[in-house]
Amino acid sequence: MQTRYQLRHSPAAHPKAANWRPVGGTQLAYRFFAPVSYSAKPPREHKPAGRKRSARYPGPVSTDPHRATPTGKPRARSLGLKFRGTPGPWNAITDVPGVEVGYQTLIEGDSVRTGVTAIHPRGKANPGDPVAAGFHSQNGNGEMTGVSWIEESGTFEGPVAITNTHAVGIAHAGIISWMNRYHPEFTEVWLLPVAAETWDGYLNDINGHHVTEDTVVAALEAASHEQPDEGSVGGGTGMNCYQYKAGSGTASRQIDYAGTTYTVGVFVQANFGRRDELTVTGIYLGEEFADDNPMRDARNAAPIQGAGSVIAVVATDAPLFPSQCKAFARRVTSGLARTGTSGSHFSGDLFLAFSTANPGAFTSEASGPGVTAATANAYDQLTFIPWPHIDPFFEAVVQATEEAVINSLIANEDMTGRDGHRSPKLPRDRLKEIVAARDARG
């Protein structure tokens, strides 16, 4: 017998399935949803695909994934910005083996500007193997579910979803719905999903209940190991950073240790900061870019200056102890600070870090069909980077966080949403000129 979740998400429940197509792990849903066939295929190798020319970005499309998104949007490095550290092939969180990212983007009429971002730590096929994890709250004016268990056990299992503030409960339920459809063995007792949020009410009709369980399931099913898109996609669709249009951003760094190259990847949903704080690769822009700030002038439509929140997810294949994951999460604060923010009291700045190393190392059940007499009394064992050698990994977190935030700003255009509220794009041409002038001075 099918469960109520399976019936709800069966193909018969989606008559417009033929109209919905996945492209590079991203779904652009204009108020209709349909299922994606699910298969447990192994991650594909990193082979950068050719870029598609976008109507919004009609110029030459870079084939370098460090300079452009899969949909042809510019990334920070395309403006001549220089960042420290060595990025991975995609310069994205999906450079970490096994990690998959998917989006469901909702843009409808004049008032719907929202969506869901999904992250699978070990891929869609393997949500039941816990990962070592740590959580840090820089400022608690926000929500991330599941963190009580992460603090208690140092682990979590299943996918992560990020959306808007008033849909975080729906995201939580959507994860359970997806798990119950494809991996019901993990929902028979209980599941404590990780769902997080930032506020998009300036551009989006946040009280309109536009995000549904179907939206969340579609994002989870759309996830891919390829380079994810950035900017106004997924949960980041209606978000703003430093009072410019922002949203989803990602970056990665590679670190060598003991003859092995490891990757640290960061994904941010950037929705924080005042314009007067903005700093890009050490260049203070708060005064230079002070003009064209509708959010500052819309006193009754926007939250207190600097409010909004930021969610950061840090992934690595380096073997870590849970307390080291927590230390990784704390280093996100330093990466954000490089972009200028001091961390508003009215911003929910919540950070999650996990390690995909040590597969099968955490026993997740005390009894059941997978527990034998031999394993019932066995010990769990972890391999982890020695603390005296952890600093290069901390640096990688800081570097990737900084670049991920800037990528979320660069890969964007003006957006107008609810009640005519407008969020301008960061002036890329002006920034490029400033960077070139600085480099010329040496």
- What pLDDT sits at residue 301? 61
397 occurs within a structural domain: yes
- How many residues comprise the chain? 442
165 occurs within a structural domain: yes
Torsion of the alpha carbons at 406, 408, 411 and 412, rounded to the nearest 10? -120
Mean pLDDT of 68-80: 98
- What pLDDT sits at residue 209? 97
Judge whether 309 counts as a catalytic residue.
Answer: yes
Determine contact, residues 295/243, Cβ cutoff 8 Å. Answer: yes
422 occurs within a structural domain: yes
Helix axes 213-222, 168-182, angle to 10 degrees: 60
Determine contact, residues 308/296, Cβ cutoff 8 Å. Answer: no
The catalytic residue among 177, 349, 408, 423 is 349
Determine contact, residues 415/423, Cβ cutoff 8 Å. Answer: yes
Determine contact, residues 295/303, Cβ cutoff 8 Å. Answer: no
Cα dist. 33→17, 18, 240, 431 in Å?
7, 10, 26, 38
- What pLDDT sits at residue 33? 35
Q: Categorize the per-residue pLDDT at 377 as very low, low, confident or very high, splitting at 50, 70 and 90.
A: confident
Helix H or strand E segment including 170: helix 168-182
Cα–Cα distance measured from residue 35 to residue 420, given in angstroms and rounded to the nearest whole number: 33
Determine contact, residues 122/98, Cβ cutoff 8 Å. Answer: yes
- What pLDDT sits at residue 353? 99
11 occurs within a structural domain: no
Q: Which residues contact 27 (CB under 8 A, 6 or more apart)?
A: 20, 102, 103, 104, 105, 218, 219, 222
Could you report the per-residue pLDDT of 418-441, keeping only the tens digit for each? 999 999 999 999 999 999 999 999
Cα dist. 148→136, 184, 194 in Å?
11, 23, 10
Q: Of the given ranges (40-44, 141-145, 358-362, 394-398), which has the lowest mean pLDDT?
A: 40-44
The catalytic residue among 177, 224, 347, 408 is 347
- What pLDDT sits at residue 373? 63
Determine contact, residues 226/211, Cβ cutoff 8 Å. Answer: no
Secondary structure (DSSP) of 215-232: HHHHHHHH-BSSPPP-BS
Cα–Cα distance measured from residue 62 to residue 53, given in angstroms and rounded to the nearest whole number: 9
Cα–Cα distance measured from residue 381 to residue 397, given in angstroms and rounded to the nearest whole number: 25
39 occurs within a structural domain: no
Rg (CA), the chain: 21
233 occurs within a structural domain: yes
404, two tokens: 């991920």
Mean pLDDT of 367-391: 80
Structural domain boundaries, residue 119 = 21-32+64-362+381-436
44 occurs within a structural domain: no
Q: What is the pTM of this model?
A: 0.87
Judge whether 334 counts as a catalytic residue.
Answer: no
Determine contact, residues 318/255, Cβ cutoff 8 Å. Answer: yes
Provide the domain count of the chain.
1
Mean pLDDT of 406-424: 97
Judge whether 62 counts as a catalytic residue.
Answer: no
240, two tokens: 């703003």
* Most confident residue range from 171-175, 307-311, 365-369: 171-175
The catalytic residue among 232, 248, 309, 344 is 309
- Candidates 237, 250, 244, 332; CA nearest to 290 is 244
Q: What percent of the chain has pLDDT over 70?
A: 82
Cα–Cα distance measured from residue 139 to residue 307, given in angstroms and rounded to the nearest whole number: 11
391, two tokens: 């600093």
pLDDT higher than 80, residue 362: yes
CATH of the domain at 269: 3.60.70.12
13 occurs within a structural domain: no
